[in-house]
Amino acid sequence: MKERQFMFATIALIIGGMLAIQFETTNNPIVRDTRDLWELRADLEKEKQRQQELNEELERYSELLDQYQTEGKDEKIQAMEKALADLKKQAGLTTVSGQGIVITIEPFNNELIGVDRPLPTIDPDMMRRLVNELNRYDAKEISIDDQRIVSKTPIREVNGNIYINNEPVSSFPIEIRVLAKNNEKLHQKIIASPAVEEFVRENFLVESTPSAKVILPAFDKDMKVKFMKPAKEET
Amino acid sequence: MWLPVLGLLLGLLLGFMSDIRVPPEYSNYLSIAVLAALDTLFGGIRAHLQGSFEDKVFITGFFFNILLAAGLAYLGVHLGIDLYLAAIFAFGVRLFNNIAVIRRLIISKWSDSRKKA
């Protein structure tokens, strides 16, 4: 009788194991890695870059932490004010200037598109794509027609006009000012970029000129913060 | 009575802890093997209740049914016929039958013991 119990228990154990494995298999199946050599290299590169960025961030924060800890109260406030000013600058709430490039967009002249053709219109998608591409080529600050592009800037079309930061873009030529890490590189890249080609296809002439000094206005609208809450102080 | 339940729980625990996963192309075989194993288990319980339990039949039935079911599924894959459906059908019907018989046996035992009391 005892033997029989053990036999049942063993069989039940095997069944339990099988059930659990089957359950695991159906709920989280094995995903095969199908990346080829180049994809793997690219991913590795990406991860390395990410690691570097994270390390830099860590270093920056630990420096900041050191600063907070070592300095007295006044200096603490000073450091905070500096951090606040830095953040404001990062968020685009200050006017910035420096060496950069100026991109102008205007319709081709009449000889090229024909006399009776209506003026071409800019699609907000094209503009968004151009901004994305500028960001991809390491643009730090961008303004379009004196409207500063911040992380929450809307680019929309209203009644055939393009609106940036809820302000209509006045008239051609549209001027885009960009400050970049490497202006020369950005200049070279943007001229040959697919976004600019898209503009050309829609009968716009896009020109980019490096400039010794460009001034980008501050973002002057209210920055609506929807989801952030003040952090609680640690006690 | 509690030993088999303990075994089942231990098996489940081991299976979940070990994090073994079957490649998706074989998960069909495993599911059918699970069904065969369950069928054998309930068959064994029924035989035990009816008093016709035999160790050798039970153990050989367990492994043989699993292998047969998986083999049938394998053959089906290679012939292009869904033969595993046959196994699922057979085992499913038997499972229900066995559980029904077990239920009746338990009910009759229970009412007998109540009559005696």
Is position A13 within any domain? no
Q: Mark yes or no for CB contact B11/A6 under 8 Å.
A: no
Please write the tens of the pLDDT for every residue from A169-184. 877 788 888 888 888 8
Nearest residue on chain B to A32, alpha-carbon basis: B23
A67/A126 same-domain check: no
A124/A209 same-domain check: yes
* Band of pLDDT at residue A47, cut at 50, 70 and 90: very high
Give the distance from residue A28's alpha carbon to the nearest chain B alpha carbon, in angstroms. Answer: 9
A157/A136 same-domain check: yes
A63/A114 same-domain check: no
The closest alpha carbon to A218, from A146, A135, A153, belongs to A146
- Which domain, by its residues, includes A196? 96-216
Please write the tens of the pLDDT for every residue from B61-101. 889 988 988 888 888 888 988 888 888 898 899 999 999 99
In three-state secondary structure terms, A81 is: helix
A112/A86 same-domain check: no
Closest CB from A12, A15, A30 relative to B21:
A30
Work out the angle at residue A192's Cα, subtended by the Cα atoms of residues A186 and A193, and round it to the nearest 5 degrees: 80
Please write the tens of the pLDDT for every residue from B38-60. 898 888 889 988 888 888 888 89
Give the distance from residue B66's alpha carbon to the nearest chain A alpha carbon, in angstroms. Answer: 11
Instruction: Collect all residues of chain B within an 8 Å Cβ-Cβ radius of residue A4.
Output: 48, 53, 55
In three-state secondary structure terms, A164 is: strand
A84/A107 same-domain check: no
Task: Parse chain B into domains and list their residue ranges.
Answer: 23-116
User: Which letter does DSSP use for residue B26 in this model?
Assistant: G
Work out the angle at residue B34's Cα, subtended by the Cα atoms of residues B30 and B39, and round it to the nearest 5 degrees: 150
CA dist A211 and A101 (Å) reads 5
Q: B72 or A73: whose pLDDT is higher? A: B72
CA dist B30 and A225 (Å) reads 53
Last residue of a domain, one of A49, A64, A91: A91
A155/A105 same-domain check: yes
CATH label of the domain that carries residue A176: 3.30.70.1880
Name, in order, each residue with C-beta under 8 angstroms of B34's C-beta and a sequence gap of 6 or more: A15, A18, A19, A22
* Band of pLDDT at residue A110, cut at 50, 70 and 90: low
A166/A63 same-domain check: no
B-facing residues of A in 91-120 (CB < 8 A) are none
The predicted structure's pLDDT at residue A219: 83
Q: Mark yes or no for CB contact A21/B31 under 8 Å.
A: no
Is position A206 within any domain? yes
Best of B1, B2, B3 to substitute, by most chain A Cβ atoms within 10 angstroms, is: B3
Helix A183-191 with A194-201: angle, nearest 10 deg: 40
Whether the pLDDT of residue A205 is over 80: the answer is: yes
Q: How many domains does chain A have?
A: 2
Whether the pLDDT of residue B22 is over 70: the answer is: yes
Average pLDDT over residues B23-29: 82
**What distance lies between CA B52 and its chain's CA centroid?**
18
A86/A160 same-domain check: no
A107/A79 same-domain check: no
A188/A112 same-domain check: yes
Please write the tens of the pLDDT for every residue from A220-235. 877 777 787 777 776 5
Q: Mark yes or no for CB contact A4/B55 under 8 Å.
A: yes
Is position A221 within any domain? no
Instruction: Collect all residues of chain A within an 8 Å Cβ-Cβ radius of residue B95.
Output: none
Q: Which residues, in sequence order, are bridge partners of residue A209? A: A102
> To the nearest whole number, what is the mean pLDDT of chain B?
88
A130/A112 same-domain check: yes
Q: Mark yes or no for CB contact B34/A15 under 8 Å.
A: yes
Instruction: Collect all residues of chain B within an 8 Å Cβ-Cβ radius of residue A28.
Output: 21
The string over B35-67, giving b where at least 16 C-beta atoms fall within 10 Å of a residue's C-beta and e elsewhere, is bbbbbbbbbbbbbebeeebeeeebeebbeebbe
Is position A26 within any domain? no
